[in-house]
Structure 1
Amino acid sequence: MSETPFTLETLEAIVAKRAVSDDPASYTARLMRRGIPKIAQKVGEEAVETAIAAVLGDREGLTGEVADLLYHLTVLLRAADLPLSAVMAELNRRTAQTGLEEKAARRPE
């Protein structure tokens, strides 16, 4: 049997459902109740932990930390009412040129 691949869109759908849950055991719902400042704090913590795992060459740790970071970023997007599709569209726009060209285009003149 073929398993359906897990995608960021899958994660977005799960987060959307759990964000409005009244289940007291839902971590996602708890984060949403605490608001963007707490969610942003968690994103920052996970980003630092991800960077540390990468520097240490800890592949297993890095895998877990990136998963945590992607989850918290997805919760942040939900709290900010910003769909993943908007981020993907921006990435698509940016990758239409080289990274250095894209970065130069963002600099104020």
Structure 2
Amino acid sequence: MADERFLAKLWATIESRKADVAAQGSYTRKLLDAPPRIRRKIIEEAYEVNEAHQALSDGKDTKDHLAHEAADLLYHLLVLLASADVTPTEVYAVLEHRHGQPHVPKPGNP
């Protein structure tokens, strides 16, 4: 059964493509070479996740489709992070810090 350990494997694959500039045939490498393309893909995939969720909520789609769209978004987000040298560990640390902190609204933003 797949679990969160696969994200570590996926991250390792993305990092290996990043390190191998000769991997020109790799989709990941092509994304890493074109940061604006990665950003566009994030927007596109987030939109598709939203659409799949709405369709599921309306009883017109399946959880499987939402999972596929979410997988696309996670992959592209990891590529974006790798392109900026931000590791999942750094993201986890932010989430962990937020989890341990009470929510304090910012002025003008409850």
Q: TM-score, normalised by structure 1?
A: 0.81
Secondary structure of the structure 1 residue equivalent to 2:25: coil
Match of 1:67 among 67, 71, 76: 71
Cα deviations by residue, 1:15-42 (Å, 9 ceiling, x for unpaired): 10122332332000011111x2211110
Q: Which runs of 5+ in 2 are unaligned?
A: 57-61
Segments of 4+ moved more than 6 angstroms: 2-5
Q: TM-score, normalised by structure 2?
A: 0.80
- Percent identity between the aligned chains? 35
Q: Which residue of 1 aligns with 2:59?
A: none
Q: Which runs of 5+ in 1 are unaligned?
A: none
Aligned mates of 1:15, 1:4 — CA distance in 2? 18
Q: Is 1:33 the counterpart of 2:33 in the alignment?
A: yes
The alignment covers a number of residue pairs equal to: 102
- After superposition, the Cα gap between the structure-2 partners of 1:61 and 1:84, relative to the gap in structure 1 and judged at 3 Å, is same
8 Å CA contact retained: 1:20, 1:29: no
* Superposition pairs of residues 1-109 of structure 1, within 5 angstroms: 6-21=5-20, 22-34=22-34, 36-57=35-56, 58-98=62-102, 101-102=103-104, 104=105, 107-108=106-107
